[in-house]
Amino acid sequence: MKANKMVAKGTLCASIMALSMSAALAAYPDQPIHVVVGYSAGGTTDILARALGEQLSKILKTPVVVENKPGAAGSIAAAYVSNSKPDGYTLFIATVSSHGINPALYKKLGYEPVKGFAPVSMLASIPLVLIANPKLKFKTVQDLVDAIKAKPGTFNYSSSGNGSPVHIAGAMFADQAHLKAVHVPYRGGALANTAVISGDVQYSFATLPAALPQVKAGTVTALAVTTKKRSPQLPDVPTVAENKNFPGYEINTWNALLAPAGTPEATVKKLNAAVVEAMNTKKLQTTFKSQGAEPESSTPQELQAFIGEQLAHWKTVMDKLNIHLN
């Protein structure tokens, strides 16, 4: 009799817990959602995150707050989110650095790029653009290649820091065409672009959103974009791969939305549906495209596969280039 009572009590407790969990999931979200960005306010990733947050707030009927935790190319923010409570209220804007380059670049990270996160959706792809100082009178990628080969070791290219996508793009460019050029790292993309404008360096691979105003103003010359296809923002500018020296050349920066590992599947599905809806709003698409970003969305499963491909790809690239940091 006592055993039967214990079984009944256990069944009742399990039922209450299941009902409580169901109620919690049904109520989600019932408090503000925090979206963590691994870069300073005002940058491309931050601007896109705030545009997304504005739409998600309307769709999910709860405040969406963007938090900036810059440092280590997004690694600090990634570690913070991966160690957060998996309840759907702390999310991360992943990038090609946090979930592509950094795991291949550093021996140790404060997060597991795969096991530490639950993928939600892809958000955007963002090209880089090869820019040069206009006083050099370069019109094509071949002009730059010929000039570097004529004076090996005398040309410099700037980047937003060691191990940044801009640095890697430059290293890939030099490696593929067997060029001898000097990498000059700066503390951020704005300084790297300014160095091209001033002539302190001859060229760089800038993010399209950051370079677009300067290209239009004529303070830098856009020679090529780094994606497979030409950018709608610069339709007359070829891809790097269109040049015979760079078959298959491609580097594409991107943003995606992740939650901590262990976030309930129902919560991830609700977030994914909200992101897909947000991506179809005219206002968000206008904001993204004005930043040189192509809005995208995906299923969690598609994003999981994409991240796996990125990790494998960038490990191969880093090993080939022999770029590793402690």
- Residue 257 in contact with residue 155, Cβ under 8 Å? no
Average pLDDT of every residue of the chain: 91
- When pLDDT is averaged across residues 71-96 and rounded to a whole number, the result is 96
Residue 234 and residue 300 in one domain:
no
Residue 233 in any domain: the answer is yes
AA letter at 85 = K
Q: Would 134 be classed as within a structural domain?
A: yes
Return left, alpha or beta for 79; rule: phi > 0 is left, psi -120 to 50 is alpha, else beta: alpha
Last-in-domain residue among 242, 277, 292: 242
pLDDT of residue 44: 85
Domain shared by 267 and 233, yes or no: no
Q: List pLDDT tens digits, range 27-48.
A: 899 999 999 999 888 888 999 9
- pLDDT over 70 percentage in the chain: 92
| Residue 26 banded pLDDT, cuts 50, 70, 90 | low
Q: Which domain, by its residues, includes 291?
A: 31-126+253-321
Q: Kindly report the CATH number assigned to the domain that includes residue 217.
A: 3.40.190.10
14 falls within a domain: no
Q: Is 287 helix (H, G, I), strand (E, B) or coil?
A: helix
Tell me: do 218 and 262 sit in the same domain. Answer: no
Tell me how far apart the 2 most distant CA atoms of the chain are, in Å. 94
Q: Strand 33-37 relative to strand 64-68: parallel, antiparallel, unpaired?
A: parallel
Task: Lowest mean pLDDT of 18-27, 228-237, 274-283, name the range.
Answer: 18-27
| 135 and 221 together in one domain | yes
